[in-house]
Amino acid sequence: MSKQSIILVGAALVLVVILFSLPKSVVDNSDTTSLADEQSVDMGSSPDSLHQVQITEADQDILNRLIGQLANYKEDPKKTTIFADSIATVYQRIGKLDSTAYYAGIAADAANELTMWEKAGNAYYEAFGFAMNETKLNELGDKTRFYLNKVLDAKPDRLDLKTKVAMTYMVSSNPMQGVGMLREVLAADPKNEQALFNMGLLAIQSTQYDRAVERFEEFVGYYPDHVQGNYYLGVSYFEAKQKKKAKEQFEKVKKMDADPVLQSSVDSYLKSL
């Protein structure tokens, strides 16, 4: 079955889009050194360009007032932090993730302290997770790394943040750096949920299906109730031509979640077995 037929579900949606758009040279293989071709991108897009969310008149009045106050106190770092953070909070509540990140970044730059750097980095990573074109992915990935690396410089044991930084490298000119970081996370924490899951997806993307089977067997051993992990174990068995195991795995997944998209995708695999 083609990679386009692999289900895009839940939190894995954009991750799968990112990973399956990578060149085949980005693999879960320590002996591979080839890299994606470097591409230039336009970094000049506006912070409001991604999400066409409707803003109520009441929310717009709040934003207009806060943005005006921010402009009035732009030379005062403390007040800049307060107003920019407040604007980010409003945008987050109404679902404009790129604008949330933009103002969280302004607040972090003014505050120049660990908590705000992490807040801005996480906001940019969330927006990165919903960006569906290469220019925005690169732009938001750069910003995520900028802020989260500041936190990691002070707290290198924050494996959760390191995993996020690693994933932003997957759409950069140096995706192998992201793979290397995921390996470092797993070396420090072999059961790390996000790193192990992502490495399994990378193995599928690079057509290393036997390796993907190993990754996802290990993953579901640690996280037996993880629907996506179980699904991708079935995909790995299918692609590795282990038809009996694939059939058993997909039948198991069908009992785990009644989501119609998931059920339809599983059924399509079962019909192909």
pLDDT tens figures, 119-173: 999 999 999 988 878 889 899 999 999 999 999 999 999 999 999 999 999 888 8
User: In this predicted structure, which of 24-33, 105-114, 223-232 has the lowest mean pLDDT?
Assistant: 24-33
Which pLDDT value is given to residue 122?
96
CB 246 within 8 A of CB 234: yes
Q: Which residue's structure tokens are 């290990």?
A: 218
pLDDT exceeds 90 at position 22: no
Residue 53's φ and ψ, nearest 5 degrees, are: -90, 135
CA distance 186 to 7: 26
Closest CA to 166 of 132, 141, 131: 141
> Nearest CA to 213 among 228, 235, 185, 190?
235
Number of H helices, E strands in the chain: 13, 0
The span from the CA of 202 to the CA of 86, in Å, is 38
Give the chain's length.
Answer: 273
Under DSSP, the state recorded for 36 is P
Question: What is the rounded distance in angstroms from the CA atom of residue 50 to the CA atom of residue 128?
Answer: 10
Distance between CA atoms of 210 and 131, rounded to whole angstroms?
31
DSSP state of 50: S
Tell me what percent of the residues of the chain surpass a pLDDT of 70.
81
CATH superfamily of 11-23+55-182: Tetratricopeptide repeat domain (1.25.40.10)
Q: What percent of the chain has pLDDT over 90?
A: 67
Residue 38 pLDDT greater than 50, yes or no: no
| pLDDT in the model for residue 132 | 79
Indicate if the alpha-carbon torsion angle 44, 50, 56, 62 is positive or negative.
negative
